[in-house]
A and B are shown apart, each in its own frame.
Chain A
């Protein structure tokens, strides 16, 4: 039983902890910070949330239409490079946003 029993179930969102996304290179410079706290249960949700917190990323790193990463960028989730939008995020996940152009 919740604190507000009258609230419809649809309004009860699962509790999602804040995840700190670490930004590197161009994303970091655009956002003006290395870490941004956002919420999301999947990488797609994280990406949308990131765009809302750092609108400077829109059009340069995140596609304004889809809320997903533009070509040239990828997430690194717990040391694994991935562009799987549905990849689930745990509260302890380490999420980095970097250029796909690694090295050089």
Chain B
């Protein structure tokens, strides 16, 4: 086997034991690696109806054939668990040195179950697995944790860690490594529930590739092309460049999606940040693009430096009505330090801000409520969430659960799908993305869907028929699955003329298995179906493939191109394009057709099996 080791490491924190298991080559052949592999292992290891914060919920880390090969942007690591935030699949992608280190241990994946009796540091040093007390690390932020661990054990170790939010069971806590985050869907809370503060990894074994010379030439060519116009936006401004343009197009979520443009947009735009706050630029390990831009506060307050991406910028900026870049930078830095997903943090606080605006009782003194445009209250609320103190204890549940607890109609302005808060694209004008968000297996996620690309193009217009849009949404989802599984960064996609063809050529050079563009397309479809299988097994129903009521109805003069009948028609069309039944379940014959039936045979009839455990609150 080339490009992979063909085995995984299983760790049980309850018993303090570990062991290796083979991964058959057919798994890589059909599901590639990364998110495909992590989703597959999760499906196999996670019992139906499991409570996400229980010891039985597996926490899976998976690498891919491309990790460690020198292919630009490919140093990525998938993290998967049943999400404590959504109750469905929680799959995240993180980047950088940890991915390379894990692959070099000689394992393609790590599956952690159980709960350690005390705060623990899990150490994987090639084949050696040890468990160390981590009491002294508790309370540290992820960067300080990594520094302490590497200080003790050596700089050769790479560290994944949670912050205090993960320790406190904030449902959208992240896992951090090398300054990057597996941010969405609460993998950090799962890690915290296992009493696992950090994982330190060091390895000395690469996986040989089939054609090292050919790969070196191809990788060099790709690296050169990665410096062209297709990635200029990321290299020169970063994703923060979206903000001013989205504002102009009326798709910048503002004040909890009460509007699609923001009067303070120019002040927090990527261009303004670059000119007035920029410090430097970084990249993930083995990346030639380097899209990570860092910025510094420039006011009289405490000096803070933070990396900012568009999603963080909109969530802590326009969504909360904040027009001061210094506040946004401090808020972003605190989210990273506490170890929480900035999108859900901003969106849940924006929900609370709207509650305050409408006079909804949240069980705390009025003076403690966050307010739109009030930076001090935003920062104080972020701290409260991390420590689950005061109002933070409610908001640590995320907007879906918090609104279910509070009631008073506040569910109607909780902006989530399946419990995952919407990203920074107002779907009211972006119809393909709207469908992608509604049917997304992990909830409202732009990364797993990327259907916004269709809306930001001349490929479809408002009057396009349902099947064309459904097909575009499914194709975008499958393409994202391929990139997340190979693993290649999505920011590289515009440097590729023929994304599937060129990726397939790289895959052939790495694995030695002749791979065509169509093979990759089929793998993408398989992976999308696999994730759906997981959700069905955990009790998902069609009712969850929906959008927040606010975007389906006219809202205080904010026009929408969406409606409930429109969405029903689109979801029908999407299931049709996918080959699924009307209720969204997957017929056995379809599993057979796409080459998934034999892989999931032992967990059959998984396609139609329903858990009785509730997914939602």
A interface, CB within 8 angstroms of B: 22, 24-26, 28-29, 34, 60, 70-73, 76, 79-83, 96, 98-104
- Stretch of B168-176, B177-185, B452-460 at the chain-chain interface: B452-460
A42 nearest CB across to chain B (Å): 16
In the bound complex, do residue B453 and residue A102 qualify as a contact, i.e. CB atoms below 8 Å apart?
Answer: yes
B237 in complex: contacting residue of A26, A72, A100, CB < 8 Å? A26
Given A26-B232, A72-B230, A103-B446, are A98 and B457 neighbors across the interface (CB < 8 Å)?
Answer: no
Instruction: Give the top 10 A-B pairs by smallest Cβ distance, nearest first.
Output: A72-B229, A102-B456, A25-B241, A99-B233, A24-B245, A104-B239, A103-B452, A81-B458, A101-B233, A101-B494
Instruction: Tell me which residues across on chain B come within 8 A of A76, comparing CB atoms.
Output: 249
CA–CA, A83 to B241, complex, Å?
A: 21
B271 in complex: contacting residue of A25, A60, A80, A101, CB < 8 Å? A25
Does B248 interact with chain A (Cβ within 8 Å)?
Answer: yes
Does B242 interact with chain A (Cβ within 8 Å)?
Answer: yes
CA–CA, A83 to B458, complex, Å?
A: 9
A79 nearest CB across to chain B (Å): 7
CA–CA, A37 to B245, complex, Å?
A: 18
A26 nearest CB across to chain B (Å): 5
Does B490 interact with chain A (Cβ within 8 Å)?
Answer: yes
Does B351 interact with chain A (Cβ within 8 Å)?
Answer: no
In the bound complex, do residue B446 and residue A101 qualify as a contact, i.e. CB atoms below 8 Å apart?
Answer: no
Instruction: Tell me which residues across on chain B come within 8 A of A73, comparing CB atoms.
Output: 229
Q: A-facing mask of B457-481, CB < 8 A → 1, else 0?
A: 1100100000000000000000000
In chain B, what residue has the closest Cβ to A28? B271
Instruction: Tell me which residues across on chain A come within 8 A of B491, comparing CB atoms.
Output: 101, 104
Q: A-facing mask of B222-243, CB < 8 A → 1, else 0?
A: 0000001111111011010110
Does B509 interact with chain A (Cβ within 8 Å)?
Answer: no
CA–CA, A34 to B243, complex, Å?
A: 13
Instruction: Tell me which residues across on chain A come within 8 A of B230, comparing CB atoms.
Output: 71-72, 100-101
Given contacts A34-B266, A102-B457, A103-B242, 16 further A-B contacts (CB under 8 A): A25-B236, A26-B232, A26-B233, A29-B236, A71-B230, A72-B232, A72-B494, A73-B229, A79-B249, A96-B245, A98-B245, A101-B491, A101-B494, A103-B453, A103-B456, A104-B234
Instruction: Tell me which residues across on chain B come within 8 A of A100, comparing CB atoms.
Output: 230, 457, 494
Instruction: Tell me which residues across on chain A come within 8 A of B242, comparing CB atoms.
Output: 102-104
B5 nearest CB across to chain A (Å): 32
In the bound complex, do residue A104 and residue B490 qualify as a contact, i.e. CB atoms below 8 Å apart?
Answer: yes
Instruction: Tell me which residues across on chain A come within 8 A of B239, comparing CB atoms.
Output: 104
In the bound complex, do residue A103 and residue B450 qualify as a contact, i.e. CB atoms below 8 Å apart?
Answer: yes
B interface, CB within 8 angstroms of A: 228-234, 236-237, 239, 241-242, 244-245, 248-249, 266, 270-271, 274-275, 310, 425, 446, 450, 452-453, 456-458, 461, 490-491, 494
Instruction: Tell me which residues across on chain A come within 8 A of B241, comparing CB atoms.
Output: 24-26, 99
B247 nearest CB across to chain A (Å): 10
CA–CA, A60 to B457, complex, Å?
A: 21
Given A79-B249, A81-B456, A96-B248, are A101 and B234 neighbors across the interface (CB < 8 Å)?
Answer: yes
A25 in complex: contacting residue of B237, B453, B457, B494, CB < 8 Å? B237
B550 nearest CB across to chain A (Å): 21
B307 nearest CB across to chain A (Å): 14
Instruction: Tell me which residues across on chain A come within 8 A of B457, comparing CB atoms.
Output: 81, 100, 102
CA–CA, A103 to B234, complex, Å?
A: 10
CA–CA, A96 to B242, complex, Å?
A: 13
Most buried by A among B233, B244, B452: B233
Instruction: Tell me which residues across on chain B come within 8 A of A81, comparing CB atoms.
Output: 456-458
In the bound complex, do residue B229 and residue A70 qualify as a contact, i.e. CB atoms below 8 Å apart?
Answer: yes
B272 nearest CB across to chain A (Å): 10
In chain A, what residue has the closest Cβ to B450? A103
CA–CA, A26 to B244, complex, Å?
A: 12
CA–CA, A24 to B271, complex, Å?
A: 8
CA–CA, A76 to B250, complex, Å?
A: 13
Instruction: Tell me which residues across on chain A come within 8 A of B425, comparing CB atoms.
Output: 103
Instruction: Tell me which residues across on chain B come within 8 A of A70, comparing CB atoms.
Output: 229
CA–CA, A26 to B242, complex, Å?
A: 11
CA–CA, A100 to B249, complex, Å?
A: 14
B251 nearest CB across to chain A (Å): 10
Instruction: Tell me which residues across on chain A come within 8 A of B236, comparing CB atoms.
Output: 25-26, 29
CA–CA, A28 to B242, complex, Å?
A: 12
A95 nearest CB across to chain B (Å): 11
In chain A, what residue has the closest Cβ to B249? A79
In chain B, what residue has the closest Cβ to A70? B229
In chain A, what residue has the closest Cβ to B430? A103
In the bound complex, do residue A29 and residue B274 qualify as a contact, i.e. CB atoms below 8 Å apart?
Answer: yes
Most buried by B among A29, A70, A102: A102
A29 in complex: contacting residue of B234, B271, B456, CB < 8 Å? B271
In chain B, what residue has the closest Cβ to A103? B452
In chain A, what residue has the closest Cβ to B291? A104
B497 nearest CB across to chain A (Å): 10
In the bound complex, do residue B245 and residue A25 qualify as a contact, i.e. CB atoms below 8 Å apart?
Answer: yes
In chain A, what residue has the closest Cβ to B451? A103
In chain A, what residue has the closest Cβ to B459? A81
Instruction: Tell me which residues across on chain A come within 8 A of B231, comparing CB atoms.
Output: 101
Instruction: Tell me which residues across on chain B come within 8 A of A72, comparing CB atoms.
Output: 228-230, 232-233, 494
In the bound complex, do residue A104 and residue B245 qualify as a contact, i.e. CB atoms below 8 Å apart?
Answer: no
A80 nearest CB across to chain B (Å): 6
